[in-house]
Amino acid sequence: MNFDRVKEKLSILADAAKYDVSCSSSGSKRKNKGKGLGDSSGMGICHSYTTDGRCISLLKILLTNVCIYDCAYCVTRRSNDIKRAAFTVQEVVDLTINFYRRNYIEGLFLSSGIFKDADTTMERLVTVAKKLRVEENFNGYIHLKSIPGASDELMKEAGLYADRLSINLELPTTEGLKLLAPEKDRQQMLQPMAAVKNEIALYQDERKKFKHLPSYAPAGQSTQMIIGATPETDLQLIQTADFFYKSYSMKRVYYSAYIPVAQDARLPSLQSQVPLLRENRLYQADWLMRFYGFKADEILEGKQPFLALDMDPKLAWALRNLDFFPLNLQTADLEAILRIPGVGLKSAWKIIEGRKFGKLSISHLQKMGVAVNRAKHFIDFGTSTFLNKNVLHQQNIKSIILSQSVSKFQAHYSPQLSLF
């Protein structure tokens, strides 16, 4: 192996892959049976964190950054004047195995520029996964990118070796796509997604009958949308996410704040700020939909299609729905308790368990991990502790809560932005 050449390839192809924010390695049940290498039956581990604080769980690389397309938001686009490189199948296999053996990673996340047609590209990705599974007896996690326009047959094969398959929508609306990636069409993206979805459903049925059937993409599908490259509202983003969770049984939708990579009249300028706070709020909203029982149209209503930046969407909902509160913790049901700002999934369960032993006080809540400063405004303690909502209207609660908390994003919305 030419060491220096491999190092150079890795620099180029890791750099080009970093904009894909997904790094999940959980949700698979692949076990190490009989002296193989690796196991993905657990939770998925972040082995390190990037200097921007994101989880490093997988070796995330492109097979090649040669691409025949010219999507405006992408560094790999055809018209961009950058160094191009391509790994061989064996090089990717060696890297994955050797990183895995050293406990650097949970597995591989392999994506690629579309270097020829869709099927040729997809086939090459599948070959890597197949080699890892069949020749190396590798049971670590494999996430493959589905290539828009790849045939159903290839997608069927991909799922036999991969734990997860994903295809990035990137732009939530067809208009956005037309503007920035005119050569791509939405249908080409949906087709492999649908193939995988159907295959997963089929396998789930079959497995009920035949226990030993191999699994098919056990960690399901995910997708990613870019935030802030096009003028879509948060409401549109959330509704799109909701649609894909429901209609395509997506496991995850990722939001990626657009990082300017091109000087292009259709895009925010190279100097524009990365909308990290907005990205963060969208994740919070997504979380509320998936785990807290919120509906898309509860999080945002038509009149105000953007998420508030100065507070999280759960607090925003609570302030819009003060009539729902105060709640009596001794009697409220789980769904209601989950709506209290400052109460998380775990602490909600602890409240349900703990209240069987007696009346819960503020100090109990504190020990259960509730953010009491926030939550106390929405809880009925039976005495005067609850600050009467006639006296304390929306604006007051908001300013009290916000004055007590320090946000890591404060600088982004503080009116006193310093100019120098």
Partner 1 sequence: MLTLLTYDHSLDGFFTAVFEVYEYKFENPWIRKEGLPEPALFGGLHRVITDAKKAERVINKLKMLLGENGLRMIVYGLLTEEEHCEKPILDVIRYAIAHPQKKVLADMTNLSVLKLERYNKQVNREKHRMEAFVRFRLIADSVFVAEIEPDFNVMPIIAKHFRQRYQDQKWMIFDRKRHYGLYYDLQSVELVSINHQQSLDKLSNLASDEAFYSDLWRIYFDKTSIASRKNSRLHVQHVPKRYWKYLTEKNFF
Query: Residue numbers of the site for ligand SF4 (CB under 6 A)?
Result: 67, 69, 71, 74, 76-77, 113-114, 181
Contact call for residue 7 and partner 1 (CB under 8 A): yes
- From the list ligand SF4, partner 1, none, which binds 49 (C-beta under 5 to 8 Å, kind-based)? partner 1
- Which amino acid, one-letter code, is at 237? L
Rounded CA-CA distance 278/235 in Å is: 12
Tokens of 54: 């994101």
Q: Which long-range contacts (CB under 8 A, 24 or more apart) does 401-407 make?
A: 401/311, 401/315, 401/341, 401/373, 401/374, 401/377, 402/310, 402/311, 404/373, 404/374, 405/373, 405/374
Q: Which of 117, 175, 301, 353 binds partner 1 (CB under 8 A)?
A: 353
Residues 6+ apart with CB under 8 A from 141: 25, 28, 30, 40, 44, 57, 58, 106, 107, 108, 163, 164, 219
The alpha carbon of 41 is separated from its chain's Cα centroid by a whole number of angstroms, namely 20
Size of interface with partner 1, in residues (CB under 8 A): 55
Residues 6+ apart with CB under 8 A from 43: 26
Site string for partner 1, 266-305 (x = CB under 8 A): --------x-x-----------------------------
From the list 36-44, 147-155, 218-226, 307-315, the region that binds partner 1 by CB under 8 A is 36-44
In this structure, the number of other CB atoms found within 10 A of the CB of residue 363 comes to: 9
Q: Which of 127, 137, 249, 405 binds partner 1 (CB under 8 A)?
A: 137
Contact call for residue 103 and partner 1 (CB under 8 A): yes
- Taking the complex as a whole, the smallest distance from the CB of residue 107 to partner 1 amounts, in Å, to 11
How many angstroms separate the Cα of 20 from the Cα of each of 202, 255, 261, 378? 29, 9, 14, 39
Nearer residue to partner 1 within complex by CB, 51 or 395: 51
Nearer residue to partner 1 within complex by CB, 358 or 415: 358
Nearer residue to ligand SF4 within complex by CB, 118 or 162: 118
Nearer residue to partner 1 within complex by CB, 190 or 274: 274
Residues that bind partner 1 (CB under 8 A): 3, 6-7, 10-11, 14-15, 17-19, 32, 34-39, 42, 45-56, 59-60, 95, 98-99, 101-104, 137, 257, 259, 274, 276, 350, 353-354, 356-358, 360, 364, 367-368, 408
